[in-house]
């Protein structure tokens, strides 16, 4: 374990470029790996999770190479032509890789075993197993519906209309990907809109996809036996990674930081809306569209924040950003209340319990509820920080580690984090970038 103490720094200044979006990086590799011909991907996030997707796609028959400049070339295997992997697909810590690849394999006549690390092996897979089984795949999971599991794909699979019981872009994407090689039309009905990178990018690769609305719900229909054509993908900067710097520059007095090329897909931009509601000064500079995704540079200046009641309807569009929002709330004037966040209990860690105890250790007044946290802010006064000899437990969760790093910047004595190694799953350059911005 690599522990580290994060402490008070000067203002965050200058210009930074965060790594490529994780969700889009996963999908770019998978969809290029299914297209017939050569695709080129630039700006790919080269964290452990995305590299697990690349390794799995190679085992399924795609040729994937990285050039010295950091561009990736993919020669796809073609929908319907995936190879049976010779060994288990090791998903590491990546829930996205696991759930999406299970969907991919489910409609091909191959068998694959999925394994993962201790944290991933505790995460629920039943939500994907259920619809994929309805389509004809046969899945033998460990007790409790977790990894390791073995999946035998069905060919031909059966198209289904699936009502998502829980708002999850990963479950939606798994069903749509299984639908790619299923005769007929596969439909997913979403009660609440979730991130739509799969729909945008599949359309770009040539899948026939229709999105409609009925009685206030979204219905996504995909026509199977698809032929995907290759395309070049420029991956926008990850809004979930930008989130840590948006909050840090907002909280540290004197900061004026520009974060380049941040993806602002409306299904991901909940944090931006909530921070602005709290009083943050974040301007969108040079808004543009890249590969079907809205992008802008974000100029963030220090601003005092006020506590708010966060609308639970925003939760799906900022589900990964709540840990760092809790840090912003800890420095705001007044009280911030969050509800409807049961989903945070089954992330890389139980993020409600883990953040509640981490912030309490750092000197915040927090109440934990079944579905959210109530945080009483300091009104801009620095947090006391963690006592010498005590450190925050990150529970193998990269977002807890980075959120508490931000808390350390606005504390009197600093915040010790028990393990910074998990940060490599999503943001390997985080520590260096933080030092540089606070220069």
Where is the binding site for phosphoenolpyruvate, in residues? 22, 95, 123, 170, 351, 399
- List residues bridging with 257 in a β-sheet: 14, 300
The vertex-94 CA angle with 88 and 95, nearest 5°, equals: 100
Residue 393 CA, chain-centre distance (Å), reads 21
Binding-site residues for 3-phosphoshikimate, please?
A: 22-23, 27, 168, 170, 320, 347
Beta strands in 309-359 (DSSP E): 309-310, 335-338
Catalytic residue of the set 49, 90, 320, 418: 320
Report which of 154, 131, 130, 151 is spatially closest to residue 140, judged by C-alpha positions.
151
**13 and 417 Cβ atoms separated by less than 8 Å:** no
Q: Which two tokens stand for residue 143?
A: 């007790």
Backbone angles phi, psi at 414, to 5 degrees: 95, 165
- DSSP letter for 314, please: G
- List residues bridging with 187 in a β-sheet: 161, 221
Count of CA atoms in the C-beta half-sphere (13 A) of 44: 31
Q: What is the rounded CA–CA span in Å between residue 21 and residue 13?
A: 23
Q: Which residue has the tokens 């696991």?
A: 98
- List residues bridging with 259 in a β-sheet: 16, 298
Q: Which two tokens stand for residue 58?
A: 């190679």
One-character DSSP codes across 188-247: EEESS----HHHHHHHHTT--EEEEEETTEEEEEEESS-------EEPPBPHHHHHHHHH
Backbone angles phi, psi at 71, to 5 degrees: -85, 145
- List residues bridging with 285 in a β-sheet: 297
**210 and 236 Cβ atoms separated by less than 8 Å:** no
Q: 320 an active-site residue?
A: yes
**341 and 352 Cβ atoms separated by less than 8 Å:** yes
Q: What is the rounded CA–CA span in Å between residue 435 and residue 416?
A: 16
Binding-site residues, please?
A: 22-23, 27, 95, 123, 168, 170, 320, 347, 351, 399
Residues with a catalytic annotation lie at 320
């Amino acid at each position: 374990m690599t522990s580290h103490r994060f402490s008070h720094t000067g203002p965050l200044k200058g210009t930074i470029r965060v790594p490529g979006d994780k969700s889009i990086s996963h999908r770019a590799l998978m969809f290029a790996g299914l297209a017939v011909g050569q695709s080129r991907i630039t700006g790919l996030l080269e964290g452990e999770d995305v590299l697990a997707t690349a390794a799995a796609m190679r085992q399924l028959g795609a040729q994937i190479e990285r050039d010295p400049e950091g561009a990736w070339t993919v020669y796809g295997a073609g929908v319907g032509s995936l190879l049976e992997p010779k060994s288990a697909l090791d998903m590491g810590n990546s829930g996205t890789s696991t759930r999406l690849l299970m969907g991919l394999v489910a409609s091909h006549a191959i068998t694959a075993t999925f394994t993962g690390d201790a944290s991933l092996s505790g995460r629920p897979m039943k939500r994907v197993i259920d619809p994929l089984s309805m389509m004809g795949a046969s899945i033998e999971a460990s007790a409790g519906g977790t990894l390791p599991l073995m999946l035998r794909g069905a060919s031909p699979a059966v198209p289904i209309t699936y009502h998502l019981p829980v708002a999850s872009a990963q479950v939606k994407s798994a069903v749509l990907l299984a639908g790619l090689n299923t005769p007929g039309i596969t439909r997913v009905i979403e009660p609440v809109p979730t991130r739509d990178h799969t729909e945008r990018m599949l359309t770009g690769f040539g899948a026939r996809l229709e999105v409609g609305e009925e009685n206030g719900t979204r219905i996504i229909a995909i026509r199977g036996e698809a032929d995907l054509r290759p395309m070049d993908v420029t991956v926008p900067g990850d809004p979930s990674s930008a989130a840590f710097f948006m909050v840090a520059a907002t909280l540290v007095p004197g900061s004026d930081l520009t974060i380049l090329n941040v993806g602002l897909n409306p299904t991901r931009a909940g944090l931006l809306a909530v921070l602005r509601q709290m009083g943050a000064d974040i301007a969108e500079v040079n808004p543009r569209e890249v590969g079907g995704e809205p992008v802008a540079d974000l100029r963030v200046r220090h601003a005092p924040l006020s506590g708010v009641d966060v609308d639970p309807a925003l939760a799906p569009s900022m589900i990964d950003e709540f840990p760092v929002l809790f840090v912003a709330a800890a420095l705001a004037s007044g009280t911030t209340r969050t509800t409807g966040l049961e989903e945070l209990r089954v992330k890389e860690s139980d993020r409600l319990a883990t953040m509640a105890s981490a912030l309490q250790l750092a000197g915040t007044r927090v109440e934990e509820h079944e579905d959210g946290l109530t945080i009483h802010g300091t009104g801009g006064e620095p947090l006391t920080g963690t006592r010498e000899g005590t450190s925050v437990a990150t529970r193998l969760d990269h977002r807890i580690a980075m959120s508490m790093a931000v808390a350390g910047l606005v504390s009197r004595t600093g915040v010790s984090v028990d393990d910074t190694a998990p940060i490599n799953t999503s943001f390997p350059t985080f520590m260096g970038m933080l030092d540089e911005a606070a220069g």
